[in-house]
Amino acid sequence: MANQRRFTDMLADSMPKLVLAPSFLIVMVCIYGYILWTVALSFTKSRMLPQWKFVGFDQYNKLLNNDRWAVSSENLVVFGGLFIIICLVIGIGMAILLDQKIRQEGLLRTIYLYPMAISFIVTGTAWKWLLNPSMGIQKIVREWGFEDFTFDWLVNSEMVVFCLVIAAVWQSSGFVMALFLAGLRGVDSEMIKAAQLDGASMPTIYRRIILPTLKPVFFSAFVILSHIAIKSFDLVTALTGGGPGYSSDLPANFMYAHAFTRSQMGLGAASGVMMLGGVLAILIPYLYSELRGKKQ
């Protein structure tokens, strides 16, 4: 009886840990274990199937001398940088405009936000028509009488990466707007009233008081956007197919192509590890501030 009692007490005490245990196991195996596994594979000469013959940094050497990889990582810098900056600017701007006691705010918000609900495959398919010179915007503007108007970025290997930016901004800026709008609604209105009584103008109030309190939202938006940029795989697949040639490839497409269709598993693993490295460079400062914030 007493034993049984002790057993049920023990069970009750460790219930939280028991509930967490499966998730703990999953995280350790399917995130950290798999990362180590991929790192290990990147040091082997695995092709179609894994072969545990270690070749040191050969795959990384191959990667760094690979023109397609160079193009795709350069594209990521251009695409990611522009995508994040433009989304933040549009998102903040529209959040501020929408926060001026607008009639039909709900309707407008729904319109700005709906692209976020759509998959990148659908976005890519839609923008593929709009950006196609012989069907989309170029053709429409020429029909309006501007015969020389040219907008052929989609088939221009120098400019195609900006097509990715246009479609991705269209899809994600509404979400950034929603994040900032939620943040603006949380700003203490007493503080704003006090500043108004002191004679501060609205632009000053935004710059000096409101935007600084939104720093955490800035940070979340930045991290979410860079995450979207790095994993953009489906947008490229649907919008450009990586073309012309491989001029619009991103690292995610490089990794998929080499690991799953071109039987270069070692090289694919190495490119995956490099992508993780890129994410870590952004993520570590974020996690650091997150954990420090918790302690305060």
Partner 1 sequence: MKKTYNLSYSANGTKNLSLLGSVKDKANRYLQQRSIVQHLLRILLYSVLLFMALIYLLPLLVMVMNSLKDVEEIRNGSLLALPKDPSLAAWAKAWGSACTGSTCEGIAPFFINSFKIVLPAVAISTILGALNGYVLSMWRFKGSDLFFGLLLFGCFIPFQVVLIPMAMTLGWLGLASSASGLILVHVIYGMAFTTLFFRNYYVGLPRELISAAKIDGAGFFLIFWRIILPLSPPIIVVTVIWQFTQIWNDFLFGVVFSGADNLPVTVALNNLVNTSFGGKEYNVDMAAALLAALPTIVVYVFAGKYFVRGLSAGAVKGA
Cβ atoms of residues 59 and 270 within 8 Å: yes
Cβ atoms of residues 217 and 240 within 8 Å: no
Token duo for residue 263: 């039987």
The answer to whether residue 213 forms part of the interface with partner 1 (CB under 8 A) is no
Binding range to partner 1, per CB under 8 A, among 15-23, 52-60, 79-87, 189-197: 15-23
Helix (H, G, I), strand (E, B) or coil at 216: helix
The answer to whether residue 55 forms part of the interface with partner 1 (CB under 8 A) is no
Work out which of 6, 7, 26, 285 binds partner 1, going by CB under 8 A: 26
The answer to whether residue 205 forms part of the interface with partner 1 (CB under 8 A) is no
Q: Identify each DSSP E strand in 64-138 by its residue range.
A: none
Q: Distance (Å, rounded) from C-alpha 166 to C-alpha 82? A: 10
The answer to whether residue 118 forms part of the interface with partner 1 (CB under 8 A) is yes
Return the DSSP state at 296: -
Name the CA dihedral angle for 41, 43, 47, 50, rounded to a multiple of 10 degrees: -40
- The letter for the amino acid at 127 is W
The answer to whether residue 187 forms part of the interface with partner 1 (CB under 8 A) is no
Q: Distance (Å, rounded) from C-alpha 161 to C-alpha 71? A: 11
Q: Between residue 64 and residue 93, which ones bind partner 1 under the rule CB under 8 A?
A: none
Output 12 or 197, the one with its CB closest to partner 1: 12
Work out which of 160, 178, 210, 225 binds partner 1, going by CB under 8 A: 178
Q: Between residue 132 and residue 161, which ones bind partner 1 under the rule CB under 8 A?
A: 135-136, 139-140, 143
Work out which of 60, 149, 162, 233 binds partner 1, going by CB under 8 A: 233
Q: Between residue 91 and residue 110, which ones bind partner 1 under the rule CB under 8 A?
A: 94, 97-98, 100, 102, 106, 108-110
The answer to whether residue 267 forms part of the interface with partner 1 (CB under 8 A) is no
Residue 168's nearest CA partner among 257, 271, 109, 85 is 85
- The letter for the amino acid at 68 is R
The answer to whether residue 16 forms part of the interface with partner 1 (CB under 8 A) is yes
Rg of the chain over all Cα atoms, to the nearest angstrom: 25
Work out which of 86, 154, 164, 179 binds partner 1, going by CB under 8 A: 179
Binding range to partner 1, per CB under 8 A, among 20-28, 63-71, 145-153, 189-197: 20-28
Binding range to partner 1, per CB under 8 A, among 64-72, 81-89, 148-156, 172-180: 172-180
Per the rule left: phi > 0, alpha: psi between -120 and 50, beta: everything else, 58 is: alpha
Measured at the CA of 148, the angle between CA 145 and CA 150, to 5 degrees, comes to 110
Q: Between residue 277 and residue 296, which ones bind partner 1 under the rule CB under 8 A?
A: 278-279, 283, 287, 290-291, 294
The answer to whether residue 52 forms part of the interface with partner 1 (CB under 8 A) is no
